[in-house]
Structure 1
Amino acid sequence: MREAALAATALLLADPALASSVPRYAPTARAVLAMSTDSYYRWIARERLAAWGENITDLVAAEEEHRAALDRAHALADDPFGEGQEQAIRWLEEQPEDTAAPEQLGRRREDRTAPTQVAPHGPAPEPPVAAPGSEAGYRGPWRIAGEEERAEWTFTPYIGVGPLHFGMTLEEITSALGEGPAVSSYSHHGEDQQLNYADFPESGIRALFQGGRLGCIAVDALTGPQVRLDATPLTGCAPSYVEDWLVHRTTLRPGSLTYSVAGDPVFADIGLAIRSQRAGDVVLTRPLFLLHDWLDLWHALPSEEWNCS
């Protein structure tokens, strides 16, 4: 729990407005988070310490040495004709369990040095502004909820948004929102069913699942909660304004900004994609909050999600 709290704090400190708190937490991030048995927490520590201008050469070297030792041990353990198989298996069994998802490890094997700072082009863009609500009494298919109708949620990268946290089950989400899902999509694998997504129309939320756990949250542009990042709205805004603002405020390094096949910007550093959703003759932002395995939108999202544009 302590490491999870430190990881969330380190990610929140990416906000320039909290820069004064960095000296307080940087030593703890190095002493505790960088020494975690969870490889994802170690990566957060290295990435944040580097962004804060700290020397992480020792941490990078230690991580590479650890990975090399694991690779050698796995190679020996998988070779029934090689010497040292039993010793390798015994050594691997004695290693503390890495609580990070194995599929995430391969995506972070690159050397984590200080990210390249990209100077913004021109002055900072104006922050996006949410579209005003529809006229009073309008109840048509493109009705846009007014500011006073939307719940106010905050976004913590790779942790969750509002009352929803990644890793929740459908039952936990239903309890948190106080609403049962109106639509649930299942794919069939033989006799088994796998939950793909569930819609919560009153809340304006679509919860998407992987292995029965929440991995992506899509917020309806017309009626969903107003989710803010650095007090700036992300829901129901003009897509170009949100994209310009995010590009300007984000530290860009190779792979931190990509685009889906539909042209949606995906910000890997914070686990956020900005999709467009029709509202009559205009389009508004439909933000998607994602875990790492969902960043490839084309392969991760079900076909029904693409129909929301």
Structure 2
Amino acid sequence: MESFPQHTQAILDRINTVIDGKPEAARTALTVLLAGGHLLVEDVPGVGKTMLARTLATAIGGTVSRVQFTPDLLPTDITGVSVYDQARREFEFKPGPVFANIVIGDEINRASAKTQSALLECMAEGQVTADGTTYRMGTPFMVVATQNPVEMDGTFPLPEAQRDRFTARISMGYPDADAEMTMLADHGGGSPLEGMRPVVSVEDAARLVAHVREVHVSDVVRAYVVALGRATRSHPQIRLGASPRALLQLQAAARAEAALSGREYVLPDDVRAVAVPVLAHRLMLDRRAGTDSAEELVRAVLDEVRVPAEQAPGTR
């Protein structure tokens, strides 16, 4: 796809003009979009989590919806509800906000586990089933959810099955002093999203995602992905390791990383580049692990598993 580098760079440039000093977060968000996955953004309030999601949504065009998660939110408030039409004497399905190309779930861990779980089918299969009828989502479809650290008041931990649906998790962190100076100078007069137009169309975004699926992955690289996953399951400090779904999403993210690097094939370095954000949030640590950082354990696994030699395209 000849326009791939131009389109992806335009999206990155747009995000970086709004989110100052966070190029890694911008690249990871784009990587997840290209991988056909979903992104979880975790950090304290006010560091730009929702702004990152809205900027990505605005950059690619298409439809955008936002759900503010609260303790009283119901599952049907997300997926939709069947309403009886008296004139037609039949039930009619009224789609919820999940039926959009980009769904922004703001503070997802302020809702109950039951409401959070309403997203499971949507995120895993791109569809909603209501009253025995299945309704497909649009293409592309991506959930960008933000959450506050679980230590904060009024939060509920995400269920394991829900965390496993997110392709990657990132933390924004505070910007450095220079980035905050730029933010105050450029964005102090209003929202930076006012008047902003998409840099690619939703059809272009769908083609970018389809192109990434064609990136070649050799058997040697697949074996490396499997070895990493199995190493998390047997690690003495990890109680629950990476699931098979996690390995599928690790491969998809590595494909996107390779495409962003200008290649049509995946290298082990692409897998290593995305391993921490893709795997860390899925792990459940042993209480005797001696660390609270799943990221540290993923890096330890990366150090322990032998890296295979680079594979040229077409190599098995």
Structure 1-normalised TM-score?
A: 0.25
Structure having the higher helix fraction is: 2
Instruction: Compare the two structures and name the one with the higher strand fraction.
Output: 1
TM-score normalized by the length of structure 2: 0.24
Higher relative contact order (CA closer than 8 Å, sequence separation 6+)? 2
Query: Whose Rg is larger?
Result: 1
